[in-house]
Amino acid sequence: MLTPDFDIYATRHITGLEVSPLGLSVFYDDGAVSRHLAADLREHSPEGHTTHPMTRETLLSPLDVPDNFHITHAELDENGLVALHWSEKLSADDNGVSCFHPGWLYQTGLSGETDFGVDLSRQLWRADDFAAMPTVDGRKVLEDEEAFFAFLAQFIRTGAVIVRGLPQTPEMIEILPQKIGVIRTSNFGHVFEVKIKPEADSNAYTGEELLAHTDLATREYMPGLQFLFCLQNDSDGGFSTLADGFAIAEHIKQTNPDAYKLLASRPIDFVNKAKTSDYRMHVPLFHCNAAGDLDEVRWTSWLRAPLRGELEEMAQIYKAQKLAYQLGNSDEFKAKFKLQPGDMMCFDNRRVLHGRTSFDPSSGGRWLRGCYMEREELWSGLRMSARRRRQADLPASF
C-alpha cells in the first residue's frame, strides 16, 4: 500500500527498467533517466513495516541492510508501479518485494523536489516592475486552495506580495501567516506592533523615515520572511517601500564587479544598540551559497558598527556600501505605495528591502502589526497546498 506522500507526485511514463549489481536505472518517455541505489531504495520502501504510516519516517537504517544487498528483478505491475524483488527479506513482515510510484522515482532520483506544475524560478524586479505585479485578493487566499497556492508561488518567485482586502482584525497578522507555517518569535515578541512608542527601542517605532533595509541584521539567522498587516494608516506620509535586493546586487555585479566582489567577501560588523539586548554579527553585505549564487542580503545602515582595518581598505568597503545603499533607495529600484487597512505586505526578509517614508504622528494614526517566519515554512506551505490540490483531484479508489 502506498503512503499518502505519493499523492503529490505526478504520474510518469516509464519506457524501461535496468537492474545492476548496485541498483536500478529507470528510463522515462521524456528521455530522463533516474538512478537509485538498491540499499537506499529498500530503506525508503513505502510498506508499513519500513515507513511508519503516521509519521512517514523510515523505520530502517543502514544498519538494517546487509552488505551486498541488491535487486534481483524489476518489473511494472498491473497498477503501473515499479515492483522490485530484493535479494533478502529483512523482517518477518517482509515479503521480499517493494512497489514504488513512477512519479516518486522520477522526482527523488532527479530533482529531489515535487513537480508543482508552475514556474518557481527567481524573478528579479525594479520599481516599475513591482508596480505592474498583481496584488492578491485576501479573502480568496484564506478560502480558496487554488488562490492560496498561486499566492505562495508568486511569493517564492518575486520575494514580495501585497495581499489586499483581508478582514480588519488584529488577529489577521497571525491567521494568514499560520496558514503557511510557524511564526518565529524574536526579541520583539511573537507578534510586534509598529506604532509610535514613547520608549522606542527601534526607529520603526518613531515617525522617522526608514531607509530600505532588512530586519534583524544582527542575528545569526535573519528571519526569512516578514509580514506587516495594516490596521490604520491615515497620517500624512507613511508610505511603505520595497526594493529587490537581489536585483540591486545583480546590477552592481554587472556594472561594478569589483564593488560586488568586495560586498560579497569583506565582512562588516552589525551590532544591536538596544538597552535590553546585545546582538552582533560579522558578515558581508551579500552572502553567496556553496554554488556561488547569491542567497542573502544583509542590509541595515543604522546597525553597522565602525569599520576596522587599513584606511585604504576601509575606504573601498565604505564606497561599495554607499553605492549599494544609494541604489537601494533610488527611484529605479525602490517601489513606494500606501498600505490601506486590510492590506498585508509579505516579503522575503533576506532578499527584499523594506522601509517607509516619514510621517507626522499628529496628523493621524498609523498602526501595523508584524511577525516573522522562516523561508522553509513557505516551501513547506507550498508542498502542503500541492498535496491538498492533488488529493482533491484523485479518484476515490486511489
Residues whose CB falls within 8 Å of the CB of residue 126, separated by 6 or more in sequence, listed in order: 244, 247, 332, 333
DSSP conformation letters of 291-330? TS-EEEE---GGGBPPP-S-HHHHHHHHHHHHHHHHHHTS
pLDDT exceeds cutoff 60 at 6: no
Q: What are the cell numbers at 347? A: 516579503
Query: How far apart (Å, rounded) are the C-alpha atoms in residues 384 and 382?
Result: 5
pLDDT in tens, 181-200: 999 999 889 999 998 765 65
Higher pLDDT pick, 92 / 205: 92
How many degrees, rounded to 5, is the angle at CA 116 between CA 142 and CA 375?
65
Cα torsion at 228, 229, 231, 232 (round to 10°)? 40
Q: Which of 5, 55, 62, 8 is nearest to 37 (CA)?
A: 62
Q: Which amino acid makes up residue 101?
A: H
CB 50 within 8 A of CB 97: no
Read off the pLDDT of each residue in 119-144 and give the average, rounded to a whole number: 95
C-alpha cell at 373: 517566519
Instruction: Name which residue leads in pLDDT, 10 or 341.
Output: 341
- Euclidean distance between CA atoms 111 and 115, whole angstroms: 9
Joined together, the cell numbers standing for residue 103 give 512519479
Average pLDDT for residues 348-363, to the nearest whole number? 92
Q: What is the pLDDT of residues 198-226, one digit of tens each?
A: 565 566 677 788 999 999 999 999 999 99
Q: Give CA–CA dist 235/390, Å, rounded.
A: 46
Would you call 60 helix, strand, or coil by DSSP?
A: coil
Model confidence at 8, in pLDDT bands (50, 70, 90)? low
Long-range contacts of 319-326 (CB under 8 A, 24+ apart): 319/259, 320/256, 320/259, 320/262, 320/263, 321/263, 321/268, 321/285, 323/252, 323/256, 323/259, 324/248, 324/249, 324/252, 324/259, 324/263, 324/285, 324/299, 325/211, 325/212, 325/299, 325/301
Look at strands 160-164 and 136-137 and give their pairing: parallel
Task: Please name the residues in contact with 234: beta carbons below 8 A apart, sequence gap of 6 or more.
Answer: 363, 364, 365, 366
Question: One-letter amino acid identity for 192?
Answer: F
Mean pLDDT of all residues belonging to the chain: 91
Mean pLDDT along residues 271-296? 91
Q: Amino acid identity of 387?
A: R
What's the pLDDT at 396?
45
155 is written with which cell numbers? 511569493
Span 19-45, pLDDT tens digits: 999 999 999 999 999 999 999 999 999
pLDDT of residue 48: 85
378: helix, strand or coil: helix
How far is Cα 336 from Cα 354, in angstroms, rounded to an integer? 10
pLDDT on residue 196: 73
Three cell numbers written together for 36:
537509485
315: confidence class by pLDDT, cuts 50, 70, 90: very high
Predicted confidence (pLDDT) at residue 117 exceeds the cutoff of 80:
yes
Domains and CATH numbers, the chain: 4-115 (3.30.2020.30), 127-382 (3.60.130.10)
Taking residues 231-251, report their average pLDDT.
Answer: 95
CA distance 380 to 42: 26
